[in-house]
Amino acid sequence: MSASAPQHPHSHAVRRNFICHCLEGGLYMGGTAFLAPESVLPKMVETLGGQAWIIAMMPVLLPAASASAGVFIAPIVERLPRFKPWVLFFGFLQRLPYLITGLILMYADNIEGALLSIVVLTPIISGLLGGITVVAWMEMVTRMVPEKARAAGWAVRYIIQAVIGILAGAVIHQVLTHFDNRTAYAWLHLAVFGLLFVSWLSQLFMHEDEHMRNRHPATPCGPYRDYLHSLPGILRAQPRLIKLVITRFTGMGYLMVVSFLTIHALNVTGRPKEDMGRFVTCQAVGVVLGSLLASWVGYRSGGKVLLQASRVVCVALCIWVSVTESFTGFMLSYFVLGFGLFLDRVGDLTLAAELCPPERRSTLQAILGFCNVFAFLLATFISGQIYAWTQSFETVATVAAAFAIISMIILHRIPEPRLVAVQKNS
């Protein structure tokens, strides 16, 4: 037998799992494009009378809710003999709120006063259910997909999302043009559920064999309270992850500025709300190019360089959206947003997975996610309050650019794990 035997011996299963992983994520994220949290949802909430702080938080409600539950579920996940049944069961529940909301909006009577609450609660409930899934899902994916292929896997998922997003932009434009607000929002929610359900079906074909179940030893059983008390110490023992937490918070510039970008663009240009479908399409095109570049660079160099590049793009975006006044200029802004935001996401997922030691990866991923909840909510709350106080989009963009610069400085102090591994082996 060759000394250089592959790490994942069941190559057929690995290929199938990689394909299913890409389809599941691409279809899921592509489905959410019909209610694009960076463009459609903020404008939808403004139309329904939502306040500035609610509008600001719409892009982050789903990921924040999803991340909030993981840290409490991690000790259960670390003892699971198999991940797939858990992921399938809770993943199905995670997708149901969009179906229920779509049917309520389509058929329920006399609910006009509750529309805002229904629209806002849908991503929160879905996210909380998804949070029960995400730790097991992340561990399953990490074990099913070889390390060097992970960045490519994330990127392929985002490319599938982008292709669907291009089509979603045209659908959004048509739906908002030909239906009243309530009916249009109902169809958009149902479209989301349709693709999310197909993404769930793709997970049925993933294969979790004995090789993939050879997990690290389970953490010792003990009182749940002791587990919770141990979490701060687990994070303190990983100084690089503490820096990553701070880097993530200060790297929220994209989400701070995008919460009000659609509203600002439509107000400045005087275009109707259905034209935000054009923004979704432009953003999706940017995602394609950003994901292709992220796949190529991430495979060769890891996630850190992608995060550094995304911060530079964020600063440039903040400057551009502060000065442009044309509809074409804002379409370009959404292209740049998609490009930079997905450099950030591929880089972040890749770097976080490689910074976490395998023996406590589930718990550490859950802790990082829980910290991200506060980063999401605090950053967007800050942007919402600034906008409410100043009524100035340019001020929000300036603060977002400052956050990105600070994030670059902190990120510089985190070593790239692949370079560290090469140095240890040399």
Q: For the chain, how many structural domains are there in total?
A: 1
Give Cα 410 to chain centroid, integer Å. 22
Residue 395 lies in a domain: yes
Separation in Å, CA 412 to CA 237, 311, 379: 20, 12, 21
Token representation of residue 262 = 């659609």
Question: Which of 34-38, 151-155, 167-171 comes out lowest in average pLDDT?
Answer: 151-155
Please indicate whether residue 359 or residue 65 has the higher confidence score (pLDDT).
Answer: 65
pTM: 0.77
Q: Distance between CA 343 and CA 294 in Å, rounded?
A: 6
pLDDT confidence of residue 151: 66
Q: Distance between CA 136 and CA 114 in Å, rounded?
A: 34
Q: Is 20 in a helix, a strand, or coil?
A: helix
Residue 220 lies in a domain: no
**Mean pLDDT, the chain, whole residue set:** 85
Residue 426 lies in a domain: no
Residue 137 lies in a domain: yes
- Per 3-state DSSP, the chain is made up of helix, strand and coil in percentages (nearest 5) of 85, 0, 15
Please indicate whether residue 11 or residue 198 has the higher confidence score (pLDDT).
Answer: 198
Residue 164 lies in a domain: yes
Residue 5 lies in a domain: no
pLDDT tens digits, residue range 330-385? 999 999 999 998 899 888 888 888 888 877 777 788 788 888 888 989 999 999 99
Mean per-residue pLDDT, 219-245: 80
pLDDT confidence of residue 3: 41
User: Phi then psi for 65, rounded to 5 degrees?
Assistant: -65, -40
Burial 5-16 (b: 16+ CB within 10 A, else e): eeebeeeebbee
Residue 328: CB atoms within 10 A of its CB come to: 10
pLDDT confidence of residue 6: 43
Please indicate whether residue 77 or residue 25 has the higher confidence score (pLDDT).
Answer: 25
Residue 37 has pLDDT above 80, yes or no: yes
pLDDT tens digits, residue range 262-317? 999 999 999 988 888 899 899 889 988 887 888 788 877 888 999 999 999 999 99
Residue 271 lies in a domain: yes
Mean per-residue pLDDT, 247-256: 92
Residue 227 lies in a domain: no
Please indicate whether residue 414 or residue 159 has the higher confidence score (pLDDT).
Answer: 414
Query: Domain with 388 in it: what CATH number?
Result: 1.20.1250.20
Q: Distance between CA 45 and CA 239 in Å, rounded?
A: 39
> Which residue's entry shows tokens 């992340």?
138
pLDDT confidence of residue 400: 95
Mean per-residue pLDDT, 253-264: 91
Residue 31 has pLDDT above 90, yes or no: yes
Percent of the chain at pLDDT exceeding 90 = 39
Three-state SS across 274-304? HHHHHHHHHHHHHHHHHHHHHHHHHHHHCCH
pLDDT confidence of residue 363: 78
Please indicate whether residue 415 or residue 225 has the higher confidence score (pLDDT).
Answer: 415
Ranges assigned E (strand) in 214-293: none
Question: Contact, 10 vs 209, CB < 8 A?
Answer: yes
pLDDT confidence of residue 384: 92
Q: Which domain holds residue 165?
A: 11-209+234-412
Token representation of residue 33 = 């494009």
pLDDT confidence of residue 4: 42
pLDDT confidence of residue 323: 94
